[in-house]
Structure 1
C-alpha cells in the first residue's frame, strides 16, 4: 500500500498554484513518507516542503482522501498556505492559473479545478483560512510573555482538522501547546482551566485562555502515553485517578454547567435514541453507513437500551464529568503522575461511560495480561464504593457499557456532525460506535 500526499500551494493572492517539474511534466508537488501518519497530522508535511522545495508553508487542511484498491494506492490532497515571496518560489517551480490546467497530468486536473471553483468561498473554520497563523502567533507571543515564557525556537504546526488546530512551541520553561477548537467544543478552554485549577496534579497547567475564540495554551503534559505502557499498574493508577476526579466533580456539576459543559443525561440519551433509529438517511450515509440488517438490529435493540437507561437512573449513582473521547491515547504518563487531555467531547453524563475507550485499548495495549479488562474495571470502580458494593457496581457497570457506545454515537449524531462543514472528516464515527453497540 502506497500513500501519496498531493499538495495545493497557492500564491499569496490565490490566483495561481505552484507546480514542480517531474520527468518533463509540470505537476502538483507530491510527497511520500516511510512512516504512516494520521491524516490530520501535518507537521511532517511542512517540514518536507521546507527541506525538499525550500518553501515555508502552513498546512491549512486535508481536502480529500481517496483509496484506490486495485492499485493499493491512497492519495491525500492538502491545501497549504505559502509564506515566501512569489519570486522566491518561481526559482523552484512554476505558477499556473485556472486557464492553464491542461499543463497538468490528467489525474491532477480535477483536483485543481475543484480548488479554483471554491477559492472565493472561504471556510467557516478559521484555521482553514489563509492568514490565521499570523493572528494566533501574535496572541501566542503575548500570552507567553505574560506567563514568563520566552520562545527558544520556531512554533510548529502539529495537527489541522475541523475538530482542532494544534501547535507546539519550545520555550525557556519547556514545550507548550496551543490548541484552537470550533464553537461546537467551545466549553473546552474554560473547562480545562477549571480542571487545572482544581486538579493541578492531573491536568496540564493552563497558561492562557481565550474562551470567546476557543483558544487554549497548555504546558506539556508529559512524554509518554498510557497506550505505550506495558505494565498494567500504570493503567490501574490512571483509571483510579480519573475516577477520583469524577467522584469529586459529582459535587460540582453546577460549576461544570457554568463553564458550558453540556448535559447528556437520561433525557438526552432517550430522546436522541428515538431520533437516531428513525433517521434511516443518516444511518446509511457515507461509505461506512449501516446496512439494512444492521438498522433492523438497532430497532430490535432499542427496548433493551431504554431499559438500561431506566436501570441507571434508578441506581442512585450521580452524574459527573464524562470525557467523551477517553482512551489510553488521551492519557499522558509523567513518572507516577497521570494527566488527562482533550476535553472537547465532554459532558455531564453517567461517569462510567468513560471506560469504553480504555477497556477497548487494553485489548491490544495489554494483550499480554490475561485478566486486564476486569482488573481495570475494578480499579476504576474501587473509587465508587461509597455508593454501592463492588458487586453491585460491577452489575451497573455492565449496564453502562451497553449504553456507552450509544452515548458516543449520539454525540456525533446530535452535536458534532451537524456542526461540521467538512462532514467527511468524522462521518465514519457514527457507524463505528453503532457497530460497537451491535456486537
Structure 2
C-alpha cells in the first residue's frame, strides 16, 4: 500500500499565513515580546520554517507537513523529560504541527568552522545517549503522540510493506530500483527479520531515535549541546542513530567509516550503556542496528514526501536509494 499523499497546506496562502502569524504574535505576547519585522521563510516539502525577528531577538516558527506533524508534540515532551537537551518550545500547537522555538545559538557545524575537529562530538554524543536513556522509559507516551514505530519487532513488516510500494521505490525509473534489485531486496526479508529479532533481544530497550543527527542539527552554545530537528525521528533501537551520525562525520571530514577517530566517537556514544553490557557486545549491537536502520531512513523519506507538493520529486530518489544500501551490508 502506498503511503497516501496527504493534502498539503498551501503555506503561501494569505489566510494560512495570517493565521500562523497571529498564533506566533499571541504566543510571543504571553512572554512580553512582539514581532519586530517581516518573517524570513524557508520551505521544504515536509516543513516550513520562519525566522521571526522580535524585540527580544530572533525566534523560529516551524510548521510540519502531515507526514512529520508529530514533531511539534515530540519537542514539548522531550523538553519536559530531558530539560537542557533540547530547546524548550515557546509554544506548541500539536494538532496543527506548529512549534515556536527560541534561538539555540550556533550549531556544531558552525562552531567547528567546517574543519575536522571532532572534540565537539566527543562532548555531545554522551549527552544524546543520556537523552535516549531517559526517553526509553516513556516509549508508550511517544508512540501516542504519533511518533512512528520503527522498533526491531516492527521493521520486518514495514520493510515488506515498503517493498510493495512500487510507486515510492520508483521501480524501473532512472532514479529508482530496477526490477532485478527489487527482487534481490525481497530475497533479503528472511535474513533481515532474523537480524531484527537478534537486535530486539540485545538487552537495549527502544527509545527515541533522531535518524538525522548530523552537525547541523546540534546546537553548541553556552547552554551546552542541544539536539533539534526531530522530524525524521522514530521509536526504534537507539543505536540506529549512529548510521547517519558517523556517516555524516566521515563525509564532512574525508574519513573512511573505519577510521579510528570515528570508532572512538562510536565508543563515546556507547559509553553510557556500559552498565548494560560489555563494550565488545555493544559495538556488535551498534553494527547490527546501523545495518537494519537503512530501512528506517527509507521510511522516513517516504513519510516526509507523503505530500502533493510538486517539489517532492526533487527528493524522491532518497526512498529507493536508502533501501538499496541493504545490498551492501551483511544483512
Q: TM-score, normalised by structure 2?
A: 0.87
Deviates more, 1:419-428 or 1:340-349: 419-428
The aligned counterpart of 1:309 is 196
**Matched residue count:** 315
1:435 aligns with 2:328: no
Whether the 8 Å CA contact 1:203–1:221 is kept in 2: the answer is: no
1:321 Cα shift?
A: 0.6
Aligned to 1:226: 109
Q: Quote the Cα distance in structure 2 between the aligned partners of 1:306 and 1:363.
A: 29
Given that 1:222 and 1:333 are in contact with CA atoms closer than 8 Å, whether structure 2 keeps it comes out as: yes
Partner of residue 130, structure 2: 244
| Distance (Å, rounded) in 1 between the aligned partners of 2:181 and 2:67 | 29
* Separation (CA, whole Å) in 1 of partners of 2:319 and 2:111: 27
Deviation digits for residues 379-420 of structure 1, max 9, x if unmatched? Answer: 11111112111111001111111101112113344x444455
Q: Give the 3 Å change call, closer, same or farther, for CA 267–368 of structure 1 in structure 2.
A: closer
Q: Tell me, yes or no, if the aligned pair for 1:232 and 1:366 is still in contact at 8 Å.
A: no
Q: Distance in 1 between matches of 2:308 and 2:281?
A: 40
- Structure 1 position 383 matched with structure 2 position 269: no
Q: Give 1 or 2: higher strand fraction.
A: 1
Q: Counterparts in 2 of 1:51-200, with a 5 A limit?
A: 124-157=8-41, 159-200=42-83
Unmatched 5+ stretches in structure 2: 1-6
Superposed displacement of residue 294, structure 1: 2.6
Q: Is the 8 A contact 1:305 1:402 kept in 2?
A: no
Aligned pairs for 1:13-32 within 5 A: none
Task: Indicate the residue corresponding to 1:217 in structure 2.
Answer: 100
Q: Is the 8 A contact 2:45 2:305 kept in 1?
A: no
CA contact (8 A) 2:240 2:289 kept: yes
Distance 1:182 1:322 in 2: 20
Question: Which has the higher Rg, Structure 1 or Structure 2?
Answer: 1
Is 1:353 matched with 2:237?
no
Residue aligning to 1:329: 216
Structure 1's 356 and 420: CA in aligned 2 closer, same or farther, altered over 3 A? Answer: farther
Q: Structure 2 matches for 1:380-419, cutoff 5 A?
A: 380-413=269-302, 415-419=303-307
**Counterparts in 2 of 1:260 and 1:292: CA distance versus 1, 3 Å:** closer
CA distance in structure 2 between the partners assigned to 1:353 and 1:432 by the alignment: 18
TM-score, normalised relative to structure 1: 0.66
Q: Which runs of 5+ in 1 are unaligned?
A: 1-122
Q: 1:257 aligns with which of 143, 151, 155?
A: 143
CA contact (8 A) 1:226 1:235 kept: no
The CA deviation at 1:364 is 2.7
How far apart, CA to CA, are the structure 2 residues paired with 1:139 and 1:418? 26
| Cα distance, 1:189 vs structure 2 | 1.0
In structure 2, the partner of 1:76 is none
| Cα contact 2:46–2:305 (8 A) shared by 1 | no
* CA distance in structure 1 between the aligned counterparts of 2:163 and 2:107, rounded to whole angstroms: 40
